[in-house]
Amino acid sequence: MSTKQLFLRRICGLMFTAMILLFYSCIEGYLVDDWAFSSDVRNALLESPAAEDVEYLPSPDGSSVTISWPVVYGAGGYEFSLYIVDDPDNPIVVGDENEIVDGCSVQRSLQADTNYKIVVRTLGNEKYNNKSAESPTIKMFTTMVPTYAIIPDGSDITQWFATNPIPADSVNTELAYVLEPNGNYTMSGLVDFGKQKVTFRGDKIKRPKIVMGDGGRIATSAGIKIKFIEFDCSAVSGSSSNAALLLLSSTPDSEIKGTGDYYIVNDPIVIQSCEIYGVQRHLVYDNKVKYCLPTLLIDDCVVRLEATQAQPVIYFNQGFANDFTVKNSTFWNVGSKDNKYFVQYNSSGRPDRAGFVNGSVNFLNSTFYKVCYENQWANYSGFAGRSNVYWNMKENIFVDCGKGEVARRFLGGRSNQPTATFNLNTYWYDGAFPEKEKDYDTGTILQSDPQLKDPENGDFTVQGAEQLNVRTGDPRWLPEIPEIE
């Protein structure tokens, strides 16, 4: 073949390829741009997308969701709204309400443990005399763990589980046991979930109440999330050595034994959005078993301590929590005794001894009143001074806590810890700012009285100007920020 013939063949090939691409691009443009909104649909009353065709896809980190639906041919767009409907009578709009969407998908922010309602209505197209759908499509979805069983109102939960034991074949599945809205319950004895991963929850708005008997305990050796429940622990006598709302099981499964002979509870242990009162001894206790909890989180809780024993609130006699966080919560003590520590670990507990690279202790946006008034705030000497442990104390309010040395004991007694971060904490002790806190808290400190409204009676509304200005402490005690219209 001559050079000229080869050149002509290549030119023809390129022209053919260009024609094919042009052909398909025309088809694609017709399908997407024209057919979607014009097509051959004329003079029609349109319908909204079918509910079963409306899809929602959360992002990998759970912070957002993409909601999509199929094309309605002949439409001029869509009217879209997303609502939080934890309280169906008072829906909360997410993003813009009745947003006009020129497309078939929308992205919105997403929250955990929340019920949502999607509303999509097809809009008409004047150009083709197509009318808007008369009614929208409504679809519900939730980010809560699906309910496995509902425990009837009025039940003794201990007896209910004796009659309805956890299935033996469900260990690899998280089971959600749910209490009825505004329900009233008792727990006469131990409920030990053992190695079963569990969500044990009430209703976010209409929270049920559990009155704990003297032997009432919740125990686990696996991940557990306790949420949206009010607990009355007043009958749980502090004279009992294992008196606690949450115990770690006395006989953990040997399969979870890991590095350093620690029993490693791989899934998080969480107490969230609970009101707990009458705690005479411990809130969390390891039951004198060598546990390591990779994650222990207390979030959005109000805990009234009524100590009758000088004991730690969070107590690991043999083990420790590798990452421990208290945030958006309030703790205070009205008991006859002073809490010995807020948190105590076994002195040998530290991340590398259980096979972890790093660990942390975190107090964030929380309020504490008369906790460890005459005693040390914390005791975890295994963590103290470690470069692989991170301490974060930010935007908290401490009034009459930790002998006026909260920051010192928070760091295990070590000053100038390079892995520690402090910011905008308030320390107020016996009516004054305790100067020693400045030797350990290396961030900006608010050295003024937060003026809690009536702390002796459980009203921690912040009235101090400095604290109000930067909005520190448990957010529930701060005024709402007015919406800008």
Region of 301 on the Ramachandran plot (φ > 0 left; ψ -120 to 50 alpha; else beta): beta
pLDDT score, position 43: 94
**pLDDT tier, 35 (very low <50, low <70, confident <90, very high otherwise):** very low
How many whole angstroms separate alpha carbon 162 and alpha carbon 190?
10
pLDDT score, position 67: 98
Comparing CA positions, the residue from 265, 421, 272, 284 lying closest to residue 354 is 265
Q: How far is CA 228 from CA 85, 174, 360, in A?
A: 16, 17, 26
Higher local confidence (pLDDT), 32 or 332: 332
Instruction: Give the residue-averaged pLDDT of 64-93.
Output: 97
Q: pLDDT digit string (tens) for 371-413? A: 999 999 999 999 999 999 999 999 999 999 999 999 999 999 9
Q: Concatenate the DSSP letters of all residues of 57-88 into one string.
A: EE-TTSSEEEEE----TT--EEEEEEEE-SST
66 has pLDDT over 80: yes
Three-class secondary structure of residue 340 per DSSP: coil
**pLDDT tier, 246 (very low <50, low <70, confident <90, very high otherwise):** very high
Which residue spans within 258-319 are E strands per DSSP?
Answer: 263-264, 269-272, 275-279, 282-285, 291-299, 302-305, 314-315
Q: Are 276 and 233 in contact (CB under 8 A)?
A: yes
37 has pLDDT over 50: no
1 has pLDDT over 50: no
Q: pLDDT digit string (tens) for 281-323? A: 999 999 999 999 999 999 999 999 999 999 999 999 999 999 9
**pLDDT tier, 219 (very low <50, low <70, confident <90, very high otherwise):** very high
Instruction: Give the residue-averaged pLDDT of 163-189.
Output: 96
Q: pLDDT digit string (tens) for 421-447? A: 999 999 999 999 999 999 999 999 999
- Report DSSP state, residue 103: S
* Token pair of 18 as six digits: 């260009």
87 has pLDDT over 50: yes
pLDDT score, position 24: 38
419 has pLDDT over 90: yes
Residue type for position 175: L
pLDDT score, position 240: 96
36 has pLDDT over 80: no
Q: Are 449 and 460 in contact (CB under 8 A)?
A: no
Does this model's pTM top 0.85? Answer: yes
**pLDDT tier, 39 (very low <50, low <70, confident <90, very high otherwise):** low
pLDDT score, position 116: 98
Q: Are 438 and 448 in contact (CB under 8 A)?
A: no
What topology is assigned to 51-142 in CATH?
Answer: Immunoglobulin-like (2.60.40)
Comparing CA positions, the residue from 340, 412, 407, 410 lying closest to residue 374 is 340
Higher local confidence (pLDDT), 12 or 79: 79
33 has pLDDT over 50: no
Q: What is the mean pLDDT of the chain?
A: 92
Comparing CA positions, the residue from 278, 270, 175 lying closest to residue 226 is 270
Instruction: Give the residue-averaged pLDDT of 158-186.
Output: 96
20 has pLDDT over 90: no
How many whole angstroms separate alpha carbon 320 and alpha carbon 293?
7
pLDDT score, position 136: 98
23 has pLDDT over 90: no
**pLDDT tier, 481 (very low <50, low <70, confident <90, very high otherwise):** confident
pLDDT score, position 40: 84
Q: Are 119 and 81 in contact (CB under 8 A)?
A: yes
Instruction: Give the residue-averaged pLDDT of 241-261.
Output: 96
**Which uninterrupted H or E stretch holds 232?**
strand 230-232
pLDDT score, position 483: 62
